Every structure is written in C-alpha cells, then in structure tokens.
Structure 1
Amino acid sequence: MHISDASNAVLQRKTLRWVVLITALALVFDGYDLVVYGTIVSTLLRDPSQIGAVDPVQAGLLGSYALMGVMVGALSAGAVGDFFGRRKIMLINIVWFSLGMAATAMTTSIGAFGLMRFLTGIGVGALVATAGAMVAEFAPAGQRNFYNALVYSGVPLGALFASLLALWLSDLVGWRGLFLIGASPLLFLFPMAVMRLSESPKWLLSRGRVGEAEALSRQIGIPMLSDDALTASAASVVLSGQRSGFAGLCSSRFFVPTVLLGLMSFSGLMLTYGLNTWLPEIMLQYGYDKTYSLLFLVTLNAGAVIGGLVASRAADRFGPRRIVSSTFGLATVSLILITFHLPLSVLLVAIAIAGLGTLGTQVLIYGFVSNYYVTSVRAAGVAWCAGFGRLGGIFGPLLGGALIAAGAAGTAAFYVFAGVALFGALVTLFVPRHPAERASSGASEPGVSSDHDTSSVHASSTID
C-alpha cells in the first residue's frame, strides 16, 4: 500500500507538471498577444504605410477588437467546456490562436488588421477560460492559488517577453515579425499538448463517466475526490440532473458571487489592458524616449510576474479575498504616485507595484475564481469572469485612446485608472465566503475549494 501510494504521488507530480507547463505556455502567448500590440501602437500611429493612417481613437479600437474576440471566445468556451472537456478546448484553440497571429502579420489594411485581431482573440479567450478550470482540477488542495498563479503568471511573463522582444528586435524584424513569433505555438506547443495533456478525471466524473474517470485517475495519479468513498454518491448526484455550466451559475448558490467576481475581473482587466496598451505612449508624452517607454512596460510586467507569485502564497495562507483587495489597493496608491515627478529608480518601483496591483491582481483573480466554483460549473464560472472581464479590457484601451485624443495629460489617465483599482478593491470585499467554507465551518483552508467535505457534497448537490 505504501509503495502504491508513493507510485501514485510520483504519477500525480508528473501529470501536474505537464498540465502546469502546457497551460502556462498557452497563457504566455495570451500575454504576448496582450502586449505586442501596445509595443507597435506608436509605429502604426506614425507610419501610414503599414496598414493605413491610424489616429489615436482608431488605435484604441484596434486594441479593443482583440478583447471583443477574447470575450466571445471565453464565453463560448464556458458554454461548451463543461460539456465537451478541457483537453479538446485547449487543443483546438492553440491551433486557432497560432493561425490568427500568423494571419494578422500578413494584413495590409486597418479593416483586415482589426478583423484578424478579433478572430485571434477568440482563441485567446478560450485558452484563458479553460486553463483555470483545468489547473483547479489537477492541483492539490491547499496549493491551488499558488498553482493557478504559476499558470496565470504566464500572462505577465508573455507580456514581459513581448516587451523585451520589441525592445531588441522591432528594428530588425518589424511589427510583422513580432506577430509571426506569436504563431510559434503551432510548431511546438500543440504537439506537446497532444502527447502530454490529459483530460481531467473530475470532469469525466462530473459527466457521469465514472468508469473512465476511475481508469484515468489510476493511470495519471490524479484523484477524482480526496475520499474515494464519495465517488458513488458524487456520481449519483451528477446523474440525478444537477445544473451545470451557465445554468448552474444562475442558481441561488452562485448568482451573487458570480456578479461580484465578474466585476472584479472587469476592473482587473480594464487596468491590465489599458496600461499595457497606452503606458509607452503616455510615458512618451511625459518626455521619455522610446527605449525608456518600453522599459516601463517591461517593469510593469516584471512586477506582475514576481508580485503575483509572492501574493499567491499569501492567498493560499490568508485567503484570496483579502489579498486581492490589498493588491488592488496597492495599484490605487502606485498609480497616483506615478503622476509625481519621481526619480527614475523610485518611478520604476512604483510602476512595478502597479504591475502587481493590475495584471498581478488579475492573476490572483483567476485563481480565486477557479477555486471558488465546483467542477460542474467551473469552466462556465472562469469563462464568465474572463469573458465579462474582457468588457473592462475593451474599455481600457478605448478609454486611454479617448483621453489622449481629447488632449488630456497622462496624469488624468493615471487618476482614472486609480479610481478603477479602488472600485475593484471595494467590490472584492463584498464577495461572499466560499460555499465550502460556510458548509464546513472553517474546515477548509481559506479561499480553497474543498473536495473532501461529505456534507458539502450531499447538501449542495455537487461533486466537489
């Protein structure tokens, strides 16, 4: 028995490593897509020979088209992901995203560029929505916020990657070359996912496919439930006709938290996309040259990567609600500080903290959301927050473009974004405690969904 337990632990670690690696790499290219456009906005504004004459309002619209696609992709993945499985959605959309990036690099008009940004965004949205659901079902209890942060740190890491490549290669390969780099997942990530990415045993169980779930669980070492004795009762609940997907989100149990979690994501993504699209241009208006402006973008995303991972450890220990609210608060303060004439070293620190409070906070939100929901509604819950949140992402670039087109100083933009961060902090404080926490009266770790509370399984008609 001891040997069997040890063998299962080895299998579980191996499976988890592959899931984390593949989903994180997929999200690296989400982050790459997020920022690569921001690095070329100045070029498109100043060189009409690229895709035509682009003004600031059009530039904001082009930045938002991708996010409209992301919203469509995320909501579509939520509608089908809880029915067709995590693995299929991941594979299809790695291909979709890669082809979209390649096609964007070939465009020669504003209309074609915008259309391809929208279509590429559909693949991005589906990947973002599915990754959180997948990791939540493979990561061990008590470490789920950390593993979600590890995976979703792929987003700021990809943003950092795009910033650095733009800094080093933009003069050599141009903006088209930068977009072609974004198509590379088709060459290496898709084959890796085909060979190494497993379906979730918990998802199979949630669909009533008990035999397949048990066989896969033994094969990859990932438990369906923490207590195997719950398997039969959990399956019987599933087969009894419980609501899953978006229908489950509309239940009395999840409706209010779903609205509030969506508003959190709206705030986080409005900050993320607004700053990543317009920070270089705003800092140019502050008098910094192009190299310094891209350096600020690198600093913003480095702060998100490092700060997000550190904050995720705190979220596992103290619960994500208070940590997310605190990081939103840090964003509020840091964005106001950026408007002062600070020494460069202090300014870089403030921008790094803003990175933690914006994109780093969004990483924490994805972890919070993924672990808040149970298996039967998890993909829909993550998709809702990713999709509705992208409305904020759409408004972020539009807002920045409108402010700049109106001749407003960069100071006004930073104050507006600080107000959004403050709103996010307040909304977070009103999110109800996790249902498993209430059911088990504190038996679960703060902010971590429980898979071993028998009463929660029976009383809530879920399998988690």
Structure 2
Amino acid sequence: MEMKTKQNLFSGDDEATWKRRWKMMYASIAGYAMDGLDMLILSFVMTAIIKEFGLSFAEAGLIATYTLIGAVLGGYIFGIMADYVGRVKVFSLTIILFSIFTGLCAFASSLTELNIYRFLSGLGLGGEFGIGMTLVAETWPAAKRARASAGVAIGWQMGAVLAALLSALVVPHFGWRGLFAIGVLPALFAAWSRRGIPEPDIWVNRKIMKETIQQKVAQGEALTESEQEFLNKANKFPLTHLFANPRKSVTTFALTVMTSVQNFGYYGIMIWLPTILMQKHNLTLNKTTTWMVVTVIGMVIGIYLFGQFADRIGRRPAYITFYICSAAAVWGYSVLNDPILLLIGGAVLGFFCNGMMAGYGALLSEHYTTDARSTAQNFIFNSGRAVGGFAPVIIGMLAAQYTLNGALVILAFIYLAAAVNVFFLVPETKDSKLD
C-alpha cells in the first residue's frame, strides 16, 4: 500500500516556517477586518436608514439581527465544510459571498430588500471567524497561540476603524448607499490576499491518515485497534464531536455561554452607542467617528494584552478578570455625561469588553480535535452570535420604554454571570497540544 508523504510546513522554527505562519495570520487578519467593516458600517448609517425608511428603534435593530441570523447559519454551514474539504478553500468562498451582498445593499429599495441582502451577506460573514481562527491556531506554536489569535481579533478592529473613516468621508457626499457600495472593494482585496496559502499540516496529515486507513479497508486488510478508533472518530459527523460525552457537552455549553455574552455585549454597545452619542449628547457624525476610533484603540490594546495574559497566566484567570472589569466599565459608562469622560470611558469600555476576543480562537481550538475544530469554532461562536443578535433589538425595545443608557446597564450583570460560568465550568487549556 502506497502511503502519501506527510506535509511538514508549519512544525519548524526556521525562517521559512515563520514566514508561512505570518502569511497565514495576515490573510486571517484581512478577512476578519472585512467582517468588522461589513458589520460596523451599519452602526454609522443607522440614523440615515431610520430616516429614509421611517423606522422605529426596534425595526432598525432588526436589520442587524437579520445579518447575525445569516451569520449563524453561515457559520454552521461553512464551519462543517471547512472540516471536510479544507479551511483555505472555504475561507475564500466566505469573503466573496459577503462582499457581493454587501454591495447589493446599496441598491435596496425597501426595508425588506435591505434585510434580505444583509441576511445573505451574513452567511459569508459567519464562516469567516471560525475558519480564520482555526488556521492560525493550527499553524502557530502552543506557547503563542492566544497571542496569535489576538492578532486575528485585532483585524476586526482594523475593519471597525476603516468603517469609521469611510463613513466620515463617504456618507456626507454619497449617503449610506455609497458607503455600502465602496465597502465591496476591501473585501475583494481580502479574498485576493489568500492566494497560495497552504492548508495546515495537522488537517492535511489527518486527511492522509484517513485515506490510508480507508485504502486498507478497501483492500481487505485488518485494522489495528488504534486505526479502527481513529477511523471511527474521523467518520463521525463533525458536530457530534462537540457532544461526544457529558463532560464535553458541558464544556460546549459553557463556551457557548461565553461567546453569547461576548456577542451580546459587543453588538449591544457598538450598534447603539453611536446613536446614543448623536441623540443624547448631540454629537455630529464626525465627532462620533472620533469616539469610535478612540474606543477601537482601547479594544486593540485590550486584545493585545489579553493575548499576553492568556498565554502567560492561563485562559481562565484572563477571562474571569476581564469579565469582572467589563461589568464595572459598563456600569460606570452609563452614568457619564462629560464629553471628555465619554471619550476616555469609551476606550476603557473597549479595552475590557472586547479585549476578550483575543482568546476565543485559542480557547475553542484547544477543546476539540482536527476532525471538528472548524465546526466547533463556528458553531460555538456563531451560536453566541445567535444570542448576541438579539442585543440590538432588545436594547432598542428597552430604549423605547426607558433610555438607551439605562438599557445598557443590564450588561454589567451579564458579564458577572459569565465570570461565574468560567470559574465553575470551563477547564484550563493553556499550552495544550492540538490533535
């Protein structure tokens, strides 16, 4: 029986290996930046869309919710596809998909049409996070895995800054439609950046092993106990790996709670805070853009330091600390009124609430095998998006009855509950070897 040669492109410590690792990271950063651009464009043009279509807060919030529903479904579909046919192939497909439908949003003639395009763009957006994080987690060394996934997470913030800058430059001259049209160009660039990127060694070699064992079966050869066990696991539907036994099921549930809190907090804050600043504090779009940029700078610093913290101290201590500090930051921000304090407070809010994005790529990868790693990343994170997708509409409904500031205070209690969840249910996986 002929055995294919195993791939060995990412296991060394030489210059060529690191060059490939960095290229993988750059491509993942570019893709996740386009996710951030696509999603955050909406927050900057929400006021204009509300005015053009005569929407209520709740109806406007549903635009973001439809996008996130698409992201959830796309995450499930493309995550499973990436485990079967390869991470890189599916990775490029997701970007092309959401870039096309983001551009079509510029031509929407009704709210229904806009919601359809946002849903379809969300399908592509949903697959991006888990596949990009999986690629980096499977190609970078364990000791630097959280820092590597932090690098990818910073890509989203780069997209958010780009959304803010494009909003300030484009909306005054071409309106919200022009912003969606121009948003297609950087997305296509991200797809182009993936040319020539190889699949991770661990995925390629596991595929070779599976094909080799299947060839033995086809030739009527007996399998060893370890080969039979390997084949049984490899032939399982990827999603079933997440619930293989009671302990794994509890872990999957706990990780889903974490990503739900992350997404609920992020979308609740970032979709509505620009509107709060414009309506309650009478800030212009340009001044709101300044707030957004400062907040994103806080996020980038938080992500960078969280990655360092998680690699050096551990995943559990990092998350528990940031959850508690996020609760304090959200409550404190809700009572601020001074413009300077709002600016500083935005940076602090971003530092803690979104700094935790650094760890999910590493954390989720370390709990599941290569047969289901991309599925796990996308299923768990996008299930969190399913919950977080209701944040814009829930906060919009509460704001209609109370105030937007008051509606955000509930996030403080959610972050505290998340800290308890990590303490009791999430095992430590620092320095874990992927299999």
TM-score of the two chains, using structure 1 as the length reference: 0.83
Q: Distance in 1 between matches of 2:10 and 2:306?
A: 32
Give 1:260's aligned residue: 254
Cα separation, partners in 2 of 1:121 and 1:7, compared to 1, 3 Å: closer
- Does the C-alpha gap of structure 1 residues 415 and 103 become closer, same or farther in structure 2, counting only changes over 3 Å? same
- Alignment partners' CA distance in 2, 1:204 and 1:89: 15
CA contact (8 A) 2:168 2:289 kept: yes
Matched, 1:250 2:238: no
| Change beyond 3 A, Cα 1:241–1:343 | closer
- The answer to whether the 8 A contact 1:157-1:302 is kept is no
Which residues of 2 match residues 237-386 of structure 1 at below 5 A?
237-242=229-234, 243=236, 245-252=238-245, 253-290=247-284, 291-341=286-336, 343-386=338-381
State the Cα distance separating 1:393 from its structure 2 match.
Answer: 2.2
The CA distance in 1 between the partners of 2:419 and 2:211, in whole Å, is 44
- CA shift in 2, pair 1:207/1:352, >3 Å: same
Distance across 1 between alignment mates of 2:93 and 2:11:
35
Aligned to 1:23: 28
Give the superposition deviation at 1:176. 1.8
Mapped partners of 1:246, 1:6: distance in 2: 28
User: Quick check: 1:372–1:448 contact (8 Å CA) kept in 2?
Assistant: no
Q: Is structure 2 residue 203 aligned with structure 1 residue 203?
A: yes
Matches within 5 A, 1:405-420: 405-406=400-401, 408-420=402-414
Q: Alpha carbons of 1:186 and 1:414: their partners in 2 closer, same or farther (altered >3 Å)?
A: closer
Could you list the per-position Cα deviations for residues 178-233 of structure 1 after superposition, in whole angstroms to 9, with x for gaps in the alignment?
2123212454222321x232112211223344799xxxxxxxxxxxxxxxxxxx99
Alpha-carbon distance between aligned partners in 2 of 1:287 and 1:103, rounded to the nearest angstrom = 33
- CA RMSD in angstroms comes to 2.4
**1:418-447 per-position Cα deviation (integer Å, ceiling 9, x unaligned):** 22222222222223324xxxxxxxxxxx52
Q: Which runs of 5+ in 2 are unaligned?
A: 1-8, 213-223
The residue aligned with 1:228 is none
Deviation at 1:82? Answer: 1.4
> How far, CA to CA, are the matches of 1:19 and 1:142 in structure 2?
17
1:448 equivalent in structure 2: 431
> Counterpart of 2:151 in structure 1: which amino acid?
L
C-alpha spacing 1:151/1:5, structure 2 compared with 1 (3 Å): closer
| 1:456 corresponding residue in structure 2 | none
In structure 2, C-alpha distance between the alignment counterparts of 1:98 and 1:338, rounded to whole Å: 34
CA distance in 1, matches of 2:270, 2:59: 17
**Deviation of residue 273 (structure 1)?**
0.8
Cα deviation for residue 394 of structure 1 reads 1.0
**Cα distance, 1:56 vs. partner?**
1.2
Which letter does structure 2 place at the counterpart of 1:57? A
- Aligned residue type for 2:17: Q
Report what 2:15 is aligned to: 10
For 2:421, which of 421, 427, 452 is the aligned residue?
Answer: 427
2-structure distance, mates of 1:43, 1:137: 42
Q: CA 1:11–1:108 in 2, change beyond 3 Å: closer, same or farther?
A: same
CA distance in 1, matches of 2:11, 2:40: 43
Question: What is the aligned partner in structure 1 of residue 38 from structure 2?
Answer: 33
Q: Name the CA shift for 1:54/1:9 in 2 (closer, same or farther; >3 Å).
A: same
Deviations 1:238-285 (A, max 9, x none): 335454611111111521111000010000000111111100112233
Q: Aligned with 1:284: secondary structure?
A: helix
Unaligned runs of 5+ in 1: 213-231, 435-445, 452-463
Equivalent residues of 2:333, 2:349 under 8 A apart: no
User: 1:166 Cα deviation (Å)?
Assistant: 1.4
Q: Structure 1 6/95 Cα, relative in aligned 2: closer, same or farther at 3 Å?
A: closer
Partner Cα distance (2:10, 2:26) in 1: 24
Work out the number of aligned pairs and report it: 413
- Mapped to 1, the partners of 2:227 and 2:130 lie a distance apart of 25
1:361 Cα deviation after fit: 1.7
CA distance in 1, matches of 2:174, 2:301: 29
Amino acid at match of 1:328: Y
Query: Which residue identity is paired with 2:206?
Result: S
- For 2:38 and 2:354, locate their aligned partners in 1 and report how far apart those are by CA, in whole Å: 14
CA contact (8 A) 2:268 2:391 kept: yes
Q: Is the Cα contact below 8 Å between 2:10 and 2:139 reproduced in 1?
A: no
- Percent identity over paired residues: 25
Deviations for 1:117-156, whole angstroms, at most 9, x for unmatched residues? 0000000001112111111111112000000010121112
Hey, what's the Cα distance between the residues in 2 that align with 1:67 and 1:148?
Answer: 22
TM normalised by structure 2 equals: 0.88
The one-letter amino acid of 1:37's match is: L
* Alignment match, 2:385: 390
Higher deviation after alignment, 119-128 or 289-298: 289-298
**Is the 8 Å Cα contact of residues 63 and 397 (structure 1) preserved in structure 2?**
yes
Note the alpha carbon deviations across 1:304-361, whole angstroms, 9 max, x for none: 1121111110110011221122112111111111122354433323221211222322
**Residue aligning to 1:107:** 108
